[in-house]
Structure 1
């Protein structure tokens, strides 16, 4: 270490970890990102709605090209059960590709400083800094550790011992991301180039266009991102996880995890419960994925030499992000 520059370990290599690592690296610090995935996170996300604070930090990092690749929805609409538009808001907004944003941030970190297959299993304070243990037993010492390891953060248990548990709130979000050309008529005519909503008791549906995986914004190369919030009691969530080959306490399904019969059941439920346009969008997704929704706010954000960011620090329900839908 030279002068005030620090050796920093960032636990978690998704967006929160990458933003932290990129800013620290840009400031001259020696940063190592420890990501538990062995294959990497490319193509793991869907879409997100860009807000001004995101655009500001991207500009600071020199990634204006990424933010310029957004797709603009010309208006926000709300559908009723029949598919009629019952509300219009002419305010335009920009949607981004999670994939393209991730890849832009990832490129800012030298390849040797982004370590895959490096799940952090423990953190302890030592010598004025912090030591992290990797699942293979390796220990790494840092001046500062940033916990960006998500919903089930290990670093959180060090910062907030005994107060690190999430609380399931009783609903999940089903998601899909399809080529815009897979959206049939009349759904395409209603949904494309708009941010659309449908609300019903104990359910909420929305969808919007995002760029292609490599940031394409040309018509025909974009993708449609849909999000269906549905009530699901905790025992049902546990049963679903087991049916999909997961542990009963798991909280998410990746694309391809949902068996064909359960995917067909989801499509049938959509046809029964949603406007036809949204039901067609769900039917067009062969590999829907799921995330259970939890609440958590850390009682403190840091201890000496260890800090929390992102979902490790606070799990914010998607509906509450600046009053507009957003999520990876």
Structure 2
């Protein structure tokens, strides 16, 4: 049994938001256990991450610097459709999902982190809560944190009426070793945030650390994302996989059908600057449809939602990870000093929920506005990969 002068938090979701919650709650004295539904190594759903103050603050507390896990960029450049570049100075730090995952996971080596744990049921019993998982395993704690993404099982239990809505466009992504690219292309992209936009599409690219966090030139990776407006009726065809598995939120690398890959390359050649088209052709592409999940509630009896489980924002805000870290820090602050022998700190939790929901609404509106400026997901925007 855990001591009664603290509390045990069951964290459902072992990605970045869940681990941030584990660190923040441990910092206020809680015992934590993390339950992740993936059975094996987790897939990086969003490869590149813009370093933000909330992320840097947690890294510093863990004894790391933002520079130790990031590639530093010097400039931004905008390409025109013919490949010409307009540049200006804009220093920025960029990291990657797997680099940040490793930085957060290693300090939790002694903490319960259970894979293959898909939540099926959660029930409040007296002053505690019990989580039941698909494999029959059960866990008892005092508080449950749902950090299990846009398809959150915790949210379905707490707020089943709130569901993600397709935003009308998708993100094609690539993450390639810089050593695999020709010198001229790499010279253009290295040390710069590069972007291009036109009606119904937007593409951006920057370097991130290597697969083991390498920062030296030659060992880093080129991360890119290409947003294109795609009609909802075309999604099942584009998400069809080589393995025959049914994907709805993410098409992993090496799963794209040959016909889809050929259409992708042809569309890139016809609509992107030649350097970006070459990058697409040289990459092992994966894809994510973009979804909206408007925030509704974050707190229930002995439970709370954070990260995309609470509400998703468009990727153009570059704030998905920092949002999750901020929510984890605020939740921990609201729970500071609470013990299971006391009533839950309802007032502090309500204040945290109100503040974060207001922030989420603002971020959601900013993201939608940024997408609309590029006609992404709009009725008038040019649709790519449309079926006949």
Supply the distance in 2 between the matched residues of 1:300 and 1:67 (Cα, whole angstroms).
35
Query: Which of 263, 274, 277 pairs up with 1:276?
Result: 274
Query: Which of 251, 265, 268 pairs up with 1:267?
Result: 265
Please name the residue that 2:75 is paired with.
Answer: 75
The secondary structure found in structure 2 opposite 1:220 is coil
Supply the distance in 2 between the matched residues of 1:113 and 1:323 (Cα, whole angstroms).
25
Q: 1:43 to 1:149 in 2, by over 3 A?
A: closer
Count of aligned positions: 322
Q: 1:322 to 1:17 in 2, by over 3 A?
A: closer
Q: Deviations over 1:174-197 (max 9, x none)?
A: 100001122224322221111000
Please name the residue that 2:317 is paired with.
Answer: 320
Please name the residue that 1:143 is paired with.
Answer: 142
Supply the distance in 1 between the matched residues of 2:227 and 2:98 (Cα, whole angstroms).
22
The secondary structure found in structure 1 opposite 2:275 is helix
Q: Deviations over 1:123-176 (max 9, x none)?
A: 2222123221101233222101100010110111233232x2011110010100
User: Aligned ranges for residues 83-122 of structure 1 at < 5 Å?
Assistant: 83-85=83-85, 87-110=86-109, 113-122=112-121
Q: 1:324 to 1:274 in 2, by over 3 A?
A: farther
Query: Which of 288, 292, 303 pairs up with 2:289?
Result: 292
Please name the residue that 1:57 is paired with.
Answer: 58
Supply the distance in 1 between the matched residues of 2:81 and 2:307 (Cα, whole angstroms).
36
The secondary structure found in structure 1 opposite 2:160 is coil
Aligned 8 A contact 1:55 1:67 in 2: no
Task: List runs of 5+ in structure 1 lacking aligned partners.
Answer: none
Tell me which protein shows more strand as a share of its residues.
1
Q: 1:246 to 1:42 in 2, by over 3 A?
A: closer
Supply the distance in 1 between the matched residues of 2:111 and 2:68 (Cα, whole angstroms).
29
Please name the residue that 2:34 is paired with.
Answer: 33
Aligned 8 A contact 1:184 1:280 in 2: no
Q: 1:303 to 1:10 in 2, by over 3 A?
A: same
What is the Cα deviation at residue 265 of structure 1? 2.3
What is the Cα deviation at residue 69 of structure 1? 3.0
Mean CA deviation greater in 72-81 or 183-192: 183-192
The secondary structure found in structure 2 opposite 1:315 is coil
Aligned 8 A contact 1:209 1:225 in 2: yes
What is the Cα deviation at residue 205 of structure 1? 0.2
Q: 1:116 to 1:59 in 2, by over 3 A?
A: same
Task: List runs of 5+ in structure 2 lacking aligned partners.
Answer: 325-388
Aligned 8 A contact 1:204 1:228 in 2: yes
Supply the distance in 2 between the matched residues of 1:70 and 1:221 (Cα, whole angstroms).
13
Aligned 8 A contact 1:148 1:309 in 2: yes
> Do structure 1's residue 201 and structure 2's residue 202 form an aligned pair?
no
The secondary structure found in structure 2 opposite 1:8 is strand
Supply the distance in 2 between the matched residues of 1:228 and 1:234 (Cα, whole angstroms).
17
What is the Cα deviation at residue 316 of structure 1? 0.6
Supply the distance in 2 between the matched residues of 1:61 and 1:323 (Cα, whole angstroms).
21
